[in-house]
Amino acid sequence: VRIRPFGLERFFARWEFSTDFSLSSSDCETLSVARLLALEPGAQERLLELQLGYPPVEGSAELRSAAATSYERVEDDDVLVVAAAEEGIFLAYHALLGPGDHAIVETPCYASAVEVARSAGADVSCWQRRDADAWGYDLERLAGLLRPDTKLLYVNTPHNPTGSQMPRETFDGVMELAAERSLIVLSDEVYAGLEHDPERRLPAACDRYENAISLNAVSKAYGLPGLRVAWMASRNHALLEPIADLKLYTTICSSAPGELLAAIALRHRETLTRRTRKLVADNLAVADDLVERRDELISWVRPVAGSTGLVRVADEIDVDSWCGHLAEHARVLLLPGSVFDEPRHVRLGLGRRNFGAAIARLDDHLDGRPR
């Protein structure tokens, strides 16, 4: 596979474990295994007695059933378990796209969404949203990108990195455009549950449209990225089958303890996502205060969903060197927007418990910043 280096993950690999604070993580504060097990009577005994054989390729019956209950029109066998959303993206693109296919990807985006599609040989167009339009969704621009050979559309809402949420009318419009042309929709819903106002939650794409695959994981809204468990739901098995076939060449199946713990987490969805939404809401107030006090240097389109936001930095600052300097001297990891092809921005991650302390450290270093 020929693919561009993953700028974001390289930055994290370089700095995540050698800084004191991560101010840019998209995952929310995690839980110990003990706290997760305490959610359900008998869970600890089940984990200790679990046999460590290969789970089924499509995922354990228990996990598929727990995942299916989060949808309205999905049965257990409409769910395929994968080892993290990252694997889901890789498998979906490589199973469903190839040379001669055209794909449209909503950008800016988590790099896999665009680079893995290119690596599968597809011609990729970007449905680019812009800071100048308050990261607004332009359906006409999307319609203008459609071609006779367009096969797949990737969307991500709630959105990383902007923290925006597709309005309901736009979501309906996207589904209609896709249905008119029988496009496959790969709907990355890994931040579902983190709508700051839960009333604004959208339906899952797989409930709304038969040719949609909804991708979700326990990594973000549940705070459990270390489990490396995700799932794809679609009522169209002709889409899931080639993905499952390709999975036989990547992981075959997921980790048995991971599947058990993920099933427990899914049965306690409300408890876990209420906790992460509260963390994000509290941290958003801290971020608001910083943006207000430092408005000569930073500004943003305030996030309304998810666990991240993009902050625009004044032109006088060279963002890449500033982020490198902060990681080295302030020991704060602040992700430069260049990894999203947004070089005037940095990403804030709003889901960590030590966010206030991290912001205070950043604030202390803002005056001595290099130009």
Ligand X SMILES: Cc1ncc(COP(=O)(O)O)c(C=O)c1O
Residue of the chain from 28, 43, 85, 330 that contacts ligand X (CB under 6 A): 85
CB of 11 to ligand X, least distance (A): 13
Interface segment toward ligand X; rule CB under 6 A; list 84-92, 123-131, 167-175, 326-334: 84-92
259 touches ligand X (CB under 6 A):
no
190 touches ligand X (CB under 6 A):
yes
For residues 75 and 217, what is the distance between their CA atoms, to the nearest angstrom?
Answer: 18
List binders of ligand X among 24-43 (CB under 6 A).
26
β-pair partners for 104: 125, 153
Cα dihedral 355→358→359→364 (10° resolution)? 170
Rg from Cα positions in the chain: 20
With a CB cutoff of 8 Å and minimum separation 6, the contacts of 43 are 36, 37, 264
Tell the burial category of 122 from Cβ atoms under 10 Å away from its Cβ (0-12, 13-18, 19+). Answer: buried
230 touches ligand X (CB under 6 A):
yes
Residue of the chain from 188, 195, 259, 342 that contacts ligand X (CB under 6 A): 188
Give the residue among 214, 215, 230, 308 at the shortest CA–CA distance from 266: 230
Interface segment toward ligand X; rule CB under 6 A; list 46-54, 173-181, 217-225, 354-362: 217-225
CB of 47 to ligand X, least distance (A): 21
Residue of the chain from 60, 160, 164, 273 that contacts ligand X (CB under 6 A): 160
254 touches ligand X (CB under 6 A):
no
With a CB cutoff of 8 Å and minimum separation 6, the contacts of 274 are none
Tell me if 214 sits within 8 A of 231, measured CB to CB: no
156 touches ligand X (CB under 6 A):
yes
CB of 48 to ligand X, least distance (A): 26
Residue of the chain from 55, 59, 108, 225 that contacts ligand X (CB under 6 A): 225
Residue of the chain from 84, 124, 212, 240 that contacts ligand X (CB under 6 A): 84
Interface segment toward ligand X; rule CB under 6 A; list 28-36, 79-87, 245-253, 349-357: 79-87
Helix (H) or strand (E) holding 36: helix 33-37
CB of 122 to ligand X, least distance (A): 18
Tell me if 240 sits within 8 A of 214, measured CB to CB: no
CB of 60 to ligand X, least distance (A): 18
Tell me if 353 sits within 8 A of 21, measured CB to CB: no
Cis, peptide link before residue 158, omega less than 30° from 0: yes
Name the site residues for ligand X (rule: CB under 6 A).
26, 84-86, 110, 156, 160, 188, 190, 217, 219, 225, 230
